[in-house]
Chain A
Amino acid sequence: DTGVSQDPRHKITKRGQNVTFRCDPISEHNRLYWYRQTLGQGPEFLTYFQNEAQLEKSRLLSDRFSAERPKGSFSTLEIQRTEQGDSAMYLCASSLDRRREETQYFGPGTRLLVL
């Protein structure tokens, strides 16, 4: 399967713990995005990378959230001191930068439950 992959698919944690999620984009894609989706809502943008550079961060991304893409390939999203409000599906997407049209392909997501 050459699509976007995410790990883990599910994570249950206790409030206050740290969690880290991984995303492996489609191999030739230079752009990588993180979104968060809660029940009954559409995905909301968190941050995005072009190669290893983090180019944009949403105001949704509090100080407890950090994302990296150290070699311009896979990315990690870490949440420190998790809160119950962090419970959501965390979606990763990747795309190939094309001037005229750019399609984002989503991974299966990591479903986080904070108890």
Chain B
Amino acid sequence: RKEVEQDPGPFNVPEGATVAFNCTYSNSASQSFFWYRQDCRKEPKLLMSVYSSGNEDGRFTAQLNRASQYISLLIRDSKLSDSATYLCVVNRAGYSTLTFGKGTMLLVSP
């Protein structure tokens, strides 16, 4: 079983739609959680950290369920510029390295 698993994509949605991405992780020792965004042929960039209490940044909401080892990202009112691959990322306690999921591609169309 892969350490971080994400929904296979791509997700094709119209502008203005709400879209949710799901992610599960296998290592219960995982300590920190992130969503990164990666545009085509570019480097990953941090979108947001994910906290146990859930957190929101504008149109983006991230949730963490440690008991189920599950992370989600909700994008409301999607824009054309949201088209990208979204990477679920975890970091194990005591380690600095990041473990990435394969990513889920989002395509927002007019």
**Which chain B residues border A106 with CB–CB below 8 Å?**
43-45
CA distance A103 to B45 in the complex (A): 10
A103 nearest CB neighbor, chain B only? B46
Report whether B43 and A48 are in contact in the complex, using a CB–CB cutoff of 8 Å: no
CB distance from A36 to the nearest CB of B (A): 11
Which of B43, B97, B99 lies in contact with A107, CB distance below 8 A? B43
A105 nearest CB neighbor, chain B only? B46
Q: How many residues of B contact A (CB 8 A)?
A: 19
Interface stretch among B52-60, B74-82, B100-108? Answer: B100-108
A92 nearest CB neighbor, chain B only? B43
Which of B32, B42, B100, B103 lies in contact with A44, CB distance below 8 A? B100
**Which chain B residues border A103 with CB–CB below 8 Å?**
46, 49
Report whether B87 and A42 are in contact in the complex, using a CB–CB cutoff of 8 Å: yes
* 28 sampled A-B residue pairs with Cβ under 8 A: A33-B97, A33-B98, A35-B98, A40-B102, A41-B102, A42-B4, A42-B89, A42-B100, A42-B102, A42-B103, A44-B100, A45-B98, A48-B97, A55-B96, A56-B97, A91-B43, A91-B44, A95-B96, A101-B32, A102-B32, A104-B46, A104-B98, A106-B43, A106-B44, A106-B45, A108-B42, A108-B43, A109-B43
Q: Which of B's residues lie within 8 Å of A, judged by CB?
A: 4, 32, 42-46, 49, 87, 89, 95-103
